[in-house]
Every structure is written in structure tokens, then in C-alpha cells.
A and B are shown apart, each in its own frame.
Chain A
């Protein structure tokens, strides 16, 4: 290969790298940030808090019953103001990801059998949709975990692996730090390769830090 060709190749590579980064980071469109994590981690509570703080609206219902969110729902053009700069993102709240859904689990929460079956049917569709979004339609991820639970689960390992394989920027959020058995260190240990932030979506603890990091990561 002559020097000219080498230069041409390098220019080509540089151009295609620029195209990719343009798409991800410099296009006029706001970046779509998916909120992912296992059921009940507090994803919707976080989505609502972010949306309420910056737009005044809420995104969806929060509940102690797993699979409360069964359709991905989006809040567009959330403008986060940080140090005189404005970062505009679309927030996508997704259904908690799992590899199994047993409707009898919902009967235990006082739903009648028909409601439980309907909830489980919607939940499975929602999880499938969330996986699809993760492969095709998000530009960054807020990965939410309940810090009072063991983070070493297969679902967490697989999802983080999928996010890494897509080269998506990700912020791991150790939620529910207000709970007595919250253990943030355990999450840092589980995913040492990623930035982890402790927070409570319910109490609003540490949200300033969360917004700083969102602006840095996705701005």
C-alpha cells in the first residue's frame, strides 16, 4: 500500500468515525436516554423526578407491584440546565427486564386472576419491547438498581453486557440509598468498569450530582 492510499484509508476511517460520533453526539436531535434495570428498581420514580424537576410533568405510575411499567414511555425535550449550559434529552422509561414472568406472583399482590394474567401478558410484551429499544433506539442508558438488593444477578450481568456491546454511554445509579440495608459499595464492586452514583429517587437525595453527571455523559 502506497503512502497516498494509507492516507486515504486513514481519512476514510476518520470520516466514518466522525459520522458515527456526529450521529451520537452532535446531531440536533436530543439524545434518547433509556432508563433500564430490573423490575421495581425505581426507574419510573426516577423518570418522574427528572421530568418533574425540568418540565413539571410526570411520566407514569410508580408501584411496589413489579411490572408496573409495561410499555416504554417517553418524555421528549427535557432540558437540563447545568453551569450555564443546557442539555436536551428524551427520557425513555422502560419496563423492568426479566427472563421470567409468572402471573401467580401478581395474585400475591391482591390482583384477581384475570387481572394478574393480563398484567403478565402486558409485562412480557413490554420486556420484549424494552430489549428491542435497547438494540435499536437508545443513545445512552441510566441503569437503575435497588441498592438494598444483590446486584450480582444474571439479568444485570446480561443487560450491562448488552449495553457495553452496543458501546452506549452508561451511568449506573444505586437507588434507594434511604433504605437501611442499602449497599452502594456492592454495586461498585459488581460493575467497577462503570461510573456509579448513589441516590434516592423517592427522597430526591443526590439529584444535583445525578444531573451533573447526566450533563457530562450525555451532553
Chain B
């Protein structure tokens, strides 16, 4: 498998996390980004996109995700953007919130939201290393 990110990390329970830098994303076409994200998520991995996706790309990501949902296997994605405009800032929000320009989008398989939250400290560790 191609290593899509600049940093790849395996969490304790074997979930792979791919971090993709803003610079790398910048050089990719919309469909390339979407394929990269969905291929990783299909494998059960989590992708972190520095700077996130443009609204139009998010719209297409939802559309392509829908076309790949299959009752026997793939049930879609979970996506979270930090910092959130929530009144209850998480660890990541506080960390990322420090600089106003930084934005992170975390995308994982739909049934793995628990993992996303459990791995919050891991994600923040990765972020702080940048």
C-alpha cells in the first residue's frame, strides 16, 4: 500500500493514522484527495488532513461516500473538523485553537467514532509534533 501521509502512526489497537500535510494536499486534484481518503477509510484507517477540504470537495466526498456504501461492508464515514465551534472545547480544540489559521479534518470509518475519540490524545500528540 502507498504511504499517503507524511506521518503514519499505528495506535495501540492497530488503527493506522495517516497525516496529510496542507502542502501535499495542495498539489492534489479533488478526486485524488477523495480517493486517497476513501481508500484509507475502506481499510479501516483514519486520515487526518491538515487544512481540511474545501466545501465543494466535502460535497463531493459525501456524494462518493454514498455511492460506496454497501450493506455487507462499508457503512460510510465519520468526519470531524477541529477546532469545532462548540462551547465544549476538547483537548484537540484547545491545542489547535492556539493558532487561528490551523484547521484539521479527521476522517475515519463510520463505526469507528469511538476509536476517533479514544485516540484523541494520540492525534494531539501527532499534531504537536508538526
Contact between A101 and B81 (Cβ–Cβ < 8 Å)?
A: no
Number of interface residues of B (CB under 8 A): 26
Q: Does chain B have a CB within 8 A of A215?
A: no
Contact between B66 and A190 (Cβ–Cβ < 8 Å)?
A: no
Q: How far is the CB of A160 from chain B (nearest CB, A)?
A: 9
Q: Does chain A have a CB within 8 A of B119?
A: no
Q: Which of A21-29, A49-57, A151-159 contacts B (4 or more CB under 8 A)?
A: A151-159
Q: Does chain A have a CB within 8 A of B69?
A: yes
Q: Does chain A have a CB within 8 A of B79?
A: yes
* Measured CA separation A161–B55 after assembly (Å): 6
Contact between B63 and A131 (Cβ–Cβ < 8 Å)?
A: yes
Q: Does chain B have a CB within 8 A of A120?
A: yes
Q: How far is the CB of B51 from chain A (nearest CB, A)?
A: 14
What is the number of contacts between chain A and chain B, taking CB atoms within 8 Å?
77
Question: Which of A102, A127, A154, A189 is in CB contact (< 8 Å) with B80?
Answer: A154
Q: Which residue from chain A places its CB closest to the CB of B111 in the assembled complex?
A: A102
B-binding residues in A (CB < 8 A):
97-103, 117, 120-121, 124-125, 127-128, 131-132, 134-135, 152, 154, 157-158, 161-162, 164-166, 189-190
- Interface-central residue, A100, A117, A128, by most chain B CB under 10 Å: A100
Q: Does chain A have a CB within 8 A of B71?
A: yes
Contact between B59 and A101 (Cβ–Cβ < 8 Å)?
A: no
Contact between B65 and A99 (Cβ–Cβ < 8 Å)?
A: yes
